Amino acid sequence: MVKKLVSIIITTRNEELNIERLLKSIKKQTYSGIEILVIDNASTDNTKKIARRYTKLVYNKGPERSAQRNFGAKKALGEYLMFLDADMELTPDVVKQCVNEMEKDGIVGELCIAEEPVANSFWEKVKAFERSFYSLEGDSETDAARFFKKKIFWQLNGFDEKITGPEDWDLTERVISAGFECGWISEKIRHYENVPNPYKLAQKKYYYGLKSHRYFARHKVPMISAKTIYFLRPVFYKNWKRLIQHPVLSMGLFVMFSFELAGGAFGYLIGRIKKL
């Protein structure tokens, strides 16, 4: 049987410290039918040079992640599309499991893959602690798909290029609204997320918040909900014992959420006022 091609699309900008780790992990996949596309946004470091050691499909495209991903999808030859960030690393059977899951049931149109953060600093450990709650059994408030049937991806016009930040939630929910299911696999993606301090996280959420009003309006998301306010997410209350067992990380979680919430809310307000 001829294996169906999977197109892995990686968006980059100055990722020379991360990109090779991810590319090596893709080359070590137990599934062989893979093409790699790197869509770079004007890197000034060695990102593109490193990428070209692993694939000839290296392109320049901006200005944002959604546009980069759609550009990569247009260039892709695969029946399946997988979208990754440069600071990730795949465990060996990720792609194989994704294809097997898609082949099981024609109703599944997209797949979520749990992340396993790799943490060094205190704030990275706090972020890893947060993500560990979402990975316990999946979380409808935070789940976002990374693996799609290309036919369905284009049936829904791909990522909305007017949204930066929650564009992955937006597409995931549009696929479900179109009558397809979002599946899960047991393999995980390791995520080497750089979290220097809560202030930097607040800046990131501010930037994402600038166009988030488009997502909230489209999906009629209440401004006071588990989607928008981290403290209201049921996954933390269902697993309250874990919070008690790790008091230092839990306090860090409270501080981190406060900064992220403030940054996101301010960005949302500025975006609404300026109609970004």
CATH number of the domain within which 72 lies? 3.90.550.10
pTM of the full predicted structure? 0.93
Is residue 125 in some structural domain?
yes
How does pLDDT run across 105-141, given as a tens digit for each residue? Answer: 779 999 999 888 899 999 999 999 999 898 776 677 7
- Distance spanning both ends of the chain, measured CA to CA: 49
Structure confidence by residue, pLDDT tens digits, 29-86: 999 999 999 999 999 999 999 999 999 999 999 999 999 999 999 999 999 999 999 9
* Whole-number percent of the chain with pLDDT over 70: 98
pLDDT in tens, 160-217: 999 988 999 999 999 999 999 999 998 999 999 899 999 999 999 999 999 999 999 9
Q: Which of 190, 191, 8 is nearest to 99 (CA)?
A: 8
Does the residue 220 lie in any domain? yes
Structural domains of the chain, count: 1
162: containing domain: 6-274
Closest CA to 108 of 142, 80, 149: 149
How large is the average pLDDT for residues 143-150? 95
In a domain, 216, yes or no: yes
**Six-digit token string for 43:** 């890197």
The whole-number pLDDT of residue 181 equals: 93
Q: Is the residue at 147 inside a domain? A: yes
- pLDDT at residue 2 in the model: 62
Residue 1 lies in a domain: no
Cα 134 to Cα 140: distance, rounded to the nearest angstrom: 9
